[in-house]
C-alpha cells in the first residue's frame, strides 16, 4: 500500500468501493422487481478494486471509456448516483437523459464516455480520443477498460496496432474476470495472458496485477499512465472476478461453488477494510459511518429515480440529425 495516501483519501476509496457494491446489489433487486427494464443488466460486483484503483490513478483531465459493465466505473469517476439510477430507470433526469440505460452511461464533463454496448466497439473510439490528445499536445491519457472476451475481437487488434504505430497515450486495461459471457478464457483464447498480445504490436507489456487488490491496481495504472503520457500505449491486465452472471439471465455462475468461495474469501472490500484496520486501529467507527452513508446515498438515488419524470416525445427526437417527418 502507498503510505503517501492519507487516511481521508483511503476512506474515500473505501466509500466508493462500498457505494459500487451497494448500488449494484440494489440495481439487481430493482431489476427483478421490474423497476429497471431492458434485456440486460451487467453488474460490477466483485470487480470494485479494479475500477476504483484504476480511476484513482488518473487525473481529472484524463479520459475514460469502458464497456457495458459500466455502473461501477461511472461511480468511481464521480458521476452522481441519483443521475445514474435515474438513467437505469429510463428517466429524463438520467445522466444520458433516460435514452441510454444501463449500458450507455456517459458524462463528457467527467471525461467519461461510456458505457459502450458493442463488444470491443469502444476500443477504436479510445484510440481516436488519444489521437486528439496527441494532436493537440495535451498532457492527458486515455484509460480504456474492457473484458477478456473483447480481446478476441478484431477491433482489439486494429485499435492496439493503430495506437502503437502512432504512439498514442492509451492505457489498455484488460479486466480479466475469467469468463467472456459464460465461456472460460481457457476455452476461448489461445493466449490467456492477455498482456502478451501487446508484444505483436511492439507495445510495452504491463504487469498482470491482482485486480481484487485496489492498491496493486492503482500502482500499476499509475505507472502505466506516467509511461503513456511520454512514450505511448501500454497494456496491462487486472485479474479479477464477478460475483454475478454475465447478465441477469446468466445463472451459470451458481454452479461454480468452489471458485466462488475462493474469490469471496478474497473479497476486495473486505481486504481493504482489513488493511485500513491494520494501519489505523481506531478507524472502525469511520468505516461504520461510511457504510451508513452509502445506504443513505443509494436510498436517495432510488427515491430520486422513482420521482423523476419520464422522457417526452420531444426528448425522444432531440439530438438527432434529421427532424422526424410527419
Residue 314 lies in a domain: no
Q: What is the pLDDT of residue 204?
A: 86
Q: What is the pLDDT of residue 201?
A: 93
Could you give the CA distance from residue 280 to residue 265 in angstroms, rounded to a whole number? 22
> Is there a contact between 98 and 130 (Cβ–Cβ < 8 Å)?
no
Angle between helices 122-135 and 154-165 (to 10 degrees): 10
Tens of pLDDT, residues 254-295: 678 888 899 999 999 999 999 999 999 999 999 999 999 999
Q: Which domain holds residue 34?
A: 7-309
Q: What is the pLDDT of residue 253?
A: 66
Give the closest residue to 28 by CA, choosing from 243, 189, 270: 243
Could you give the CA distance from residue 14 to residue 68 in angstroms, rounded to a whole number? 23
Could you give the CA distance from residue 167 to residue 161 in angstroms, rounded to a whole number? 10
Residues of the chain under the 70 pLDDT cut: 1-3, 251, 253-254, 323-326
Residue 99 lies in a domain: yes
Torsion angle (degrees, nearest 10) of CA 23, 80, 91, 299: 40
Eight-state DSSP code of residue 195? G
Residue 316, CA distances (Å) to 83, 98, 311 in order: 18, 9, 7
Residue 148 lies in a domain: yes
75: domain CATH number?
3.40.50.970
Could you give the CA distance from residue 204 to residue 200 in angstroms, rounded to a whole number? 10
Q: What is the pLDDT of residue 182?
A: 81
> Is there a contact between 11 and 286 (Cβ–Cβ < 8 Å)?
yes
Residue 42 lies in a domain: yes
C-alpha cell at 4: 503517501
Helix (H, G, I), strand (E, B) or coil at 144: strand
Residue 57 lies in a domain: yes
Residue 44 lies in a domain: yes
Looking at the structure of the chain, the number of domains it has is 1
Helix (H, G, I), strand (E, B) or coil at 12: helix
Residue 322 lies in a domain: no
Q: pTM score > 0.85 for this model? A: yes
C-alpha cell at 55: 480511476
Residue 320 lies in a domain: no
Amino acid at each position: 500500500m502507498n503510505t503517501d495516501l492519507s487516511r481521508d483519501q483511503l476512506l474515500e476509496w473505501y466509500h466508493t468501493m462500498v457505494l459500487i457494491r451497494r448500488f449494484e446489489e440494489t440495481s439487481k433487486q430493482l431489476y427483478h422487481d421490474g423497476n429497471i427494464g431492458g434485456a440486460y443488466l451487467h453488474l460490477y460486483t466483485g470487480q470494485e478494486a479494479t475500477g476504483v484503483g484504476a480511476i484513482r490513478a488518473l487525473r481529472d483531465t484524463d479520459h475514460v471509456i469502458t464497456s457495458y459493465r459500466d455502473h461501477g466505473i461511472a461511480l468511481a469517476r464521480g458521476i452522481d448516483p441519483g443521475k445514474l439510477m435515474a438513467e437505469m430507470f429510463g428517466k429524463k433526469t438520467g445522466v444520458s437523459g433516460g435514452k441510454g440505460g444501463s449500458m450507455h452511461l456517459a458524462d463528457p464533463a467527467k471525461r467519461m464516455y461510456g458505457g459502450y454496448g458493442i463488444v470491443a466497439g469502444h476500443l477504436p473510439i479510445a484510440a481516436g480520443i488519444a489521437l486528439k490528445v496527441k494532436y493537440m499536445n495535451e498532457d492527458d491519457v486515455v484509460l480504456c477498460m474492457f473484458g477478456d472476451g473483447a480481446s478476441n475481437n478484431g477491433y482489439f487488434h486494429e485499435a492496439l496496432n493503430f495506437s502503437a504505430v502512432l504512439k498514442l497515450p492509451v492505457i489498455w486495461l484488460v479486466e480479466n474476470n475469467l469468463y467472456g459471457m459464460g465461456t472460460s478464457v481457457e476455452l476461448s483464447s489461445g493466449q490467456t495472458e492477455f498482456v502478451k498480445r501487446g508484444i505483436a504490436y511492439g507495445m510495452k507489456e504491463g504487469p498482470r496485477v491482482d485486480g481484487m487488490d485496489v492498491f496493486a491496481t492503482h500502482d500499476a495504472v499509475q505507472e502505466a499512465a506516467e509511461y503513456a503520457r511520454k512514450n505511448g500505449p501500454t497494456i496491462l491486465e487486472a485479474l479479477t472476478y464477478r460475483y454475478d452472471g454475465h447478465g441477469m439471465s446468466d445463472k451459470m455462475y451458481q454452479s461454480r461453488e468452489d471458485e466462488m468461495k475462493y474469490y469471496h474469501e478474497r473479497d476486495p472490500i473486505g481486504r481493504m477494510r482489513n488493511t485500513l484496520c491494520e494501519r489505523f486501529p481506531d478507524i472502525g467507527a469511520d468505516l461504520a459511518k461510511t457504510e451508513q452513508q452509502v445506504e443513505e446515498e443509494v436510498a436517495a438515488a432510488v427515491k430520486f429515480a422513482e420521482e423523476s419524470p419520464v422522457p417526452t416525445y420531444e426528448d425522444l427526437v432531440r439530438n438527432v440529425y434529421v427532424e422526424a417527418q410527419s
